[in-house]
Amino acid sequence: QLSQLRELNFMYSNVASLPPDIGQLHELRILNVERNGLDSLPPVIGQLSQLQQLYLGANDLTFIPPEIGNLHQLCIPQLPYSEFQHLPNELGQLEQLAATRCRLDLEGVTLISPPEEVIAQGKVAILAYLRNQTAWHMQRIVLGIAAGLGLLALLVLGFWWKYRPSQKKKKR
């Protein structure tokens, strides 16, 4: 039964894409799709809840889906020589990845985010940067909502002031 499969190795197999059914492999611990020319990962990759090692290097990936943040057991994401320019912020939420025995391989990857000076500081700095990016985006959303509500309140008060019932002062 394939649903009990623990290791899947497609290295050098000319696999162009991963089927959506890969999300059904709930016991999968190791997935190696290095050197295949993959240009995308299906979001169902996030359903591989037991995945510990993910080898994606030397593919044509330009994007890593945020669902990778669901892989709470992930300890070894190997991403060398890939085409993407941004690591998903969700990667920073993977507490297991912060463990000393775990590693993050970004050799040969030219990233915009995180910036080079963060990458030079190592895995812990990269994960902290990604966590802070998530917090920063949430803060921007909250501030945007607050600003919108403030503007709405100002408009309501402006209309109320303009169209308020006029009160005439009585002379004594």
pLDDT tens digits, residue range 98-107? 998 999 999 9
- What local confidence, expressed as pLDDT, does residue 92 receive? 92
pLDDT tens digits for range 6-19: 999 999 999 989 99
- What local confidence, expressed as pLDDT, does residue 171 receive? 63
Least confident of 2-6, 82-86, 152-156, 167-171: 167-171
**Omega of the bond leading into 19 within 30 degrees of 0 (cis):** no
Please name the residues in contact with 87: beta carbons below 8 A apart, sequence gap of 6 or more: 64, 111, 113, 114, 126, 130
Q: Kindly give the pairing relationship between strand 53-55 and strand 76-78.
A: parallel
- The mean pLDDT of the chain is 90
CA distances from 78 to 10, 56, 119, 136, 154 (A): 14, 6, 15, 26, 52
- What local confidence, expressed as pLDDT, does residue 96 receive? 92
